[in-house]
């Protein structure tokens, strides 16, 4: 290329983000990202690292020493968890009830593990009895489950029952908390979770780039006693331990600005209070759910397993889900998403997470969605939906 590209000043649209992530970023987080860089081994940055780890422990509800932000998106934290805990010769039990259980399986296979499954339909949680039967049949070394399945809008109940089954069979438990951390109740230590990973761009309302991960001593002992090295050098926790552990030795250049952002996002969690934050998500998403149903639409997830941070809404017969999504973007600068995997085309996925979990966002969404559906001739009652939302608030 002989000539330099003619690229203008950056000017992305100002969207209201109500999809499955990212969510709206708090202005304080954006401000933190504009502050000056320091070196990744600067004494001042090491203090920031300590603060981020303490704030992550608070948010995960854990005392785990090995609690860090992984340099990368939530999938990097996921791969760090699975790729370090699962080694060649291990068997990992994974669920079949959603898109991200399938991703767990893929990562475990790439780590050299043998994958076995515990079956449940898409849109349903795991049954502890089925998990116990799978343990009896397969004797897995590692059990993975998705706490908040982003593809179906289902929240896994009875987590301590699942972890008790695994531990009674000497297996470690890995929990996907990408869409639950900071938004719905999650208690890593009390519930017996050995490893949990998440992403910052959902209920924490932080840009992706530094992703939460926590391991207890049992899991870390397994990582440090592996017979073979983890297949990823970059995500090798035994090496990352040197940087995020007591030594603070160079491993890679951390994404400094993303760590700043995560620190401020977690500071907002601590100021609000983690339990109060769970309650806010439940209250605001409950109003969203009431409004959607008041309009005459149907939720996909049963009430008993409804995930407040990610609401799945059935697409009415005769409606083009993609056309509705495009209409919301074009006319309202509002983002929601279509279904994944087995539910593609059947549902919309509407996030109610972090800074996006606010009354004004919910009322805006309901009015805009009603207009988009009306453009396709769908019969919905927007006024009834807004009234149901207001009553719930």
349 bridge partner residues? 312, 337
Same domain, 222 and 311: no
CATH of residue 379's domain is 3.90.1150.10
- End residue of a domain, out of 228, 252, 272: 272
In a domain, 7, yes or no: no
In a domain, 44, yes or no: yes
Residue 162 sits in the same domain as residue 101: yes
> What is the span of the domain harbouring residue 367?
274-391
302 and 255 fall within a common domain: no
Q: Give the span between the Cα atoms of 339 and 350, in whole angstroms.
A: 10
The single-letter DSSP state of residue 147 is S
The tens-digit pLDDT sequence of the chain (393 residues) is 789 999 999 999 999 999 999 999 999 999 999 999 999 999 999 999 999 999 999 999 999 999 999 999 999 999 999 999 999 999 999 999 999 999 999 999 999 999 999 999 998 999 999 999 999 999 999 999 999 999 999 999 999 999 999 999 999 999 999 999 999 999 999 999 999 999 999 999 999 999 999 999 999 999 999 999 999 999 999 999 999 999 999 999 999 999 999 999 999 999 999 999 999 999 999 999 999 999 999 999 999 999 999 999 999 999 999 999 999 999 999 999 999 988 999 999 999 999 999 999 999 999 999 999 999 999 999 999 999 999 999
Give dist(CA 338, CA 342) in Å, integer. Answer: 11
Alpha-carbon torsion angle 318, 324, 325, 327, nearest 10: 160
Q: DSSP letter string over 160-207? A: HHHHHHHHHTT-EEEEE-TTTTTTS---TTTTT-SEEE--TTSTT---
Element (H, E) at 144: strand 142-146
CA 61 – CA 274 distance, rounded (Å): 9
Using the 3D structure, point to which of 207, 240, 272 is the last residue of a domain. 272
Q: Tell me what pLDDT residue 341 has.
A: 87
Pairing of strands 66-72, 148-149: unpaired
**What's the pLDDT at 2?**
85
Residues 75, 113: one domain? yes
Does 41 share its domain with 63? yes
User: Which pLDDT belongs to residue 361?
Assistant: 98
| Closest to 40 measured CA to CA, from 250, 185, 198 | 250
**The domain spanning residue 221 has which CATH number?**
3.40.640.10
Q: What are the phi and psi torsion angles at 115 (to 5°)? A: -105, 130
| Spatial separation of the C-alpha atoms in residues 64 and 187, rounded to whole Å | 12
Total domain count, the chain: 2
Among residues 122, 121, 177, 168, the alpha carbon closest in space to that of 144 is found at 177
Rounded to whole angstroms, the Cα distance separating 196 from 181 reads 9
Q: Note whether 227 and 301 are same-domain residues.
A: no
pTM of the model: 0.97
347 and 231, same domain (yes or no): no
The pLDDT value given to residue 235: 98
Query: Do 309 and 210 share a domain, yes or no?
Result: no
Residues 6 or more apart whose CB falls under 8 angstroms from that of 121 comprise 97
Residues 72 and 89 in one domain: yes
- Give the pLDDT of residue 257: 98
The β-bridge partners of 33 are none
Asked, for residue 193, whether it belongs to a domain, the answer is yes
Q: Which of 244, 272, 300 is the last residue of a domain?
A: 272
Residues 36 and 62 in one domain: yes
Alpha helices in 227-338 (DSSP H): 237-244, 256-272, 274-295, 321-332
- Cα atoms found within 13 Å of the Cα of residue 215, Cβ hemisphere only: 26
Q: Is residue 49 part of a domain?
A: yes
**Do both 110 and 208 map to the same domain?**
yes
What local confidence, expressed as pLDDT, does residue 1 receive? 72
Distance CA 231, CA 41 (A): 26
- The side-by-side arrangement of strands in the sheet containing 337-338 is 310-314, 347-351, 337-338
Closest-CA residue to 214 (of 111, 71, 60)? 60
In a domain, 5, yes or no: no
- Assess if residue 4 is contained within a domain: no
Residue 211 included in any domain? yes
* Pairing of the two strands 334-335 and 114-118: unpaired
Q: Which residues pair with 348 in a beta bridge?
A: 313, 338
Q: State whether 330 and 358 are in the same domain.
A: yes
DSSP letters, 363-390, are HHHHHHHHHHHHHTT----HHHHHHHHH
Question: Is 17 within a domain?
Answer: no
Sign of CA dihedral 21, 231, 193, 143: positive
Structure tokens that stand for 262 in this block: 């995560």
């Amino acid at each position: 290329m002989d000539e330099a590209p003619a690229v203008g000043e950056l000017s992305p649209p100002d969207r209201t983000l109500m999809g499955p992530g990212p969510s709206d970023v708090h202005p304080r987080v954006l401000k933190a990202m504009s502050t000056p860089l320091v070196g990744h081994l600067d004494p001042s940055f090491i203090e920031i690292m300590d603060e981020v780890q303490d704030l992550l422990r608070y948010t995960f509800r854990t005392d785990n020493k090995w609690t860090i932000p992984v340099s990368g998106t939530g999938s990097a934290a996921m791969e760090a968890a699975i790729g370090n805990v699962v080694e060649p010769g291990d068997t990992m039990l994974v669920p079949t009830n959603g898109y991200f259980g399938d991703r767990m399986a893929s990562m475990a296979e790439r780590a050299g593990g043998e994958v076995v499954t515990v079956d449940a339909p898409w849109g349903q949680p795991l049954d502890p009895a089925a998990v116990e039967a799978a343990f009896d049949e397969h004797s897995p070394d590692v059990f993975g489950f998705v706490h908040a399945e982003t593809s179906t809008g289902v929240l896994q109940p009875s987590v301590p029952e699942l972890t008790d089954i695994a531990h009674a069979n000497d297996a470690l438990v890995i929990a996907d908390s990408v869409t639950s951390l900071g938004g719905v109740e999650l208690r890593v230590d009390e519930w017996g979770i050995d490893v949990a990973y998440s992403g910052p761009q959902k209920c924490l309302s932080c840009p992706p780039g530094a992703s939460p991960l926590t391991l207890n001593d049992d899991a870390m002992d397994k990582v440090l006693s592996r017979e073979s090295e983890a297949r990823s050098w970059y995500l090798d926790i035994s090496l990352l331990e040197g940087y995020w552990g007591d030594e603070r030795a160079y491993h890679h250049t951390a994404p400094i600005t993303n760590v700043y952002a995560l620190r401020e996002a977690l500071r907002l969690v601590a100021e609000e209070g983690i339990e109060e934050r769970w309650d806010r998500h439940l209250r605001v998403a409950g109003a969203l759910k009431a409004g959607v149903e008041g309009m005459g639409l149907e939720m996909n997830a049963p009430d008993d397993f409804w995930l407040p941070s990610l609401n799945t809404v059935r697409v009415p017969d005769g409606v083009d889900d993609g056309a509705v999504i495009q209409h919301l973007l074009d006319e309202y600068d509002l983002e929601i998403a279509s279904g994944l995997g087995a539910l593609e085309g059947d549902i919309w996925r509407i996030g109610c997470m972090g800074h996006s979990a606010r009354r004004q966002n919910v009322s805006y969404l309901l009015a805009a969605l009603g207009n988009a559906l009306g453009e396709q001739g769908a019969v919905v009652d927007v006024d009834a939906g807004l009234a149901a939302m207001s009553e719930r608030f």
